């Protein structure tokens, strides 16, 4: 009998490391990437479609090269729920004179409305329009980043209180759907149990602190997940670029300790590990990925679509 341990990421570490960054602010995402790239940190940018006035499709591809792109829904709307259902105001929308008790059509975009929240006027869409904007976001992104490249969805604001909307987005076939909220270390840094409602560990506020908890988290034999968020503008607006740089230097470029990958890559890797067939005489890797294992304490790699024979 051999001692077979297949719960390793590339580099024979159990700890993955990634980020999830929303809204696609080009100048600030550039600042963010300029800190991540030299430190070898990968992650996922969640964009609300593309803006052809700013970058061409090729320009977008080059700009975000090496990172995953997820769909954050065109126009970044709230969903129309019963408590947001107000009479439709008429006349052109003017923030200064609009009635906060009414929703106003956004000019030029059928199915999109302005509605008043505690923090100001925000966009809102009824369910069918919302779903259309979800599809539009993905279409625009895939036009730039490639057909079939957008497999992750991130709710704008947060998961909306509409089970039918959620079901319809799940039915679109996204491999994962992210909601909003800091998990910190409450799940023991486990990989998400439900990928249709996963969330990140920490935003900019306790970044280093929760990173330190992850680093110190003891090996329990399971694959681990650390993901930080949430917007490039959080670092800009709070004067935290230097803090982020320090964090990236402390946690990046340590391939023995962490596997740096995008959110989608980490989940795909987990799927491949779960699909391994470990028998008494052999381990079959039917996936497209090279997997990392230890057999009787010895490091081995399991090539894609291959069978690794265990010696007697
Ligand atoms: Zn957002």
**Domains, the chain:** 16-77+133-262 (3.20.20.370), 81-125 (no CATH)
Ligand 1 centroid, distance to 229 Cα (angstroms): 11
Ligand 1 centroid, distance to 155 Cα (angstroms): 7
Would you call 117 helix, strand, or coil by DSSP? strand
Ligand 1 centroid, distance to 46 Cα (angstroms): 8
167 Cβ contact partners less than 8 Å away, ≥ 6 residues apart: none
Give the per-residue pLDDT at 238.
98
| Helical packing angle, 207-216 and 241-251, nearest 10° | 10
* pLDDT of the chain, 312 residues: tens digit per residue: 899 999 999 999 999 999 999 999 999 999 999 999 999 999 999 999 999 999 999 999 999 999 999 999 999 999 999 999 999 998 889 999 999 999 999 999 999 999 999 999 999 999 999 999 999 999 999 999 999 999 999 999 999 999 999 999 999 999 999 999 999 999 999 999 999 999 999 999 999 999 999 999 999 999 999 999 999 999 999 999 999 999 999 999 999 999 999 999 999 999 999 999 999 999 999 999 999 999 999 999 999 999 999 987
Ligand 1 centroid, distance to 145 Cα (angstroms): 20
Prediction pTM value: 0.97
Residue 177 is encoded by which pair of tokens? Answer: 């759907």
Give the per-residue pLDDT at 91.
82
Ligand 1 centroid, distance to 66 Cα (angstroms): 21
CA pair distance 112, 114, nearest whole angstrom: 7
Ligand 1 centroid, distance to 182 Cα (angstroms): 15
Ligand 1 is an ion; its neighbours by CB within 5 Å are 22-23, 156
Ligand 1 centroid, distance to 75 Cα (angstroms): 10
Ligand 1 centroid, distance to 180 Cα (angstroms): 9
Q: Name the pairing type of β-strands 44-47 and 16-22.
A: parallel
Name the nearest CA neighbour of 28 among 210, 263, 238.
238
Ligand 1 centroid, distance to 76 Cα (angstroms): 6
Residue 233 is encoded by which pair of tokens? Answer: 């503008």
Q: Name the pairing type of β-strands 44-47 and 68-71.
A: parallel
């Amino acid at each position: 009998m051999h001692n077979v341990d297949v719960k390793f990421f590339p580099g024979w570490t159990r700890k993955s490391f990634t980020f999830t960054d929303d809204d696609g602010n080009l100048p600030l995402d550039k600042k963010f990437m300029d800190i991540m790239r030299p430190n070898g940190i990968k992650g996922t940018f969640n964009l609300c479609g593309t803006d052809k006035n700013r970058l061409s499709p090729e320009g977008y591809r080059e700009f975000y090269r090496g990172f995953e792109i997820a769909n954050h829904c065109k126009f970044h709307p709230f969903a129309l729920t019963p408590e947001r259902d107000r009479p439709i105001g008429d006349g052109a929308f003017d923030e200064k004179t609009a009635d906060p008790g009414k929703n106003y059509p956004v000019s030029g975009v059928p199915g999109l409305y302005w509605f008043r929240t505690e923090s100001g006027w925000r966009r809102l869409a009824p369910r069918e329009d919302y779903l259309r904007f979800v599809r539009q976001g993905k279409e625009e992104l895939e036009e730039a980043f490639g057909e079939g490249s957008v497999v992750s969805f991130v709710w704008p604001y947060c998961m909306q209180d509409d089970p039918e909307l959620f079901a319809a987005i799940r039915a679109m076939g996204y491999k994962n759907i992210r909601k909003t909220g800091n998990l910190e270390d409450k799940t023991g840094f486990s990989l998400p149990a439900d990928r249709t409602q996963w969330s990140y560990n920490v935003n900019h506020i306790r970044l280093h602190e929760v990173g330190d908890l992850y680093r110190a988290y003891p090996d329990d034999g399971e694959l681990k997940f650390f993901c930080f968020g949430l917007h490039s503008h959080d670092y800009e607006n709070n004067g935290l670029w230097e803090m982020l740089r320090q964090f990236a230097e402390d946690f990046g470029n340590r391939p023995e300790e962490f596997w740096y990958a995008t959110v989608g890559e980490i989940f795909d890797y987990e799927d491949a590990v779960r699909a391994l067939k470990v028998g008494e005489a052999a381990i079959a890797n039917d996936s497209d990925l090279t997997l990392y294992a230890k057999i009787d304490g010895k490091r081995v790699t399991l090539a894609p679509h291959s069978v690794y024979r265990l010696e007697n």
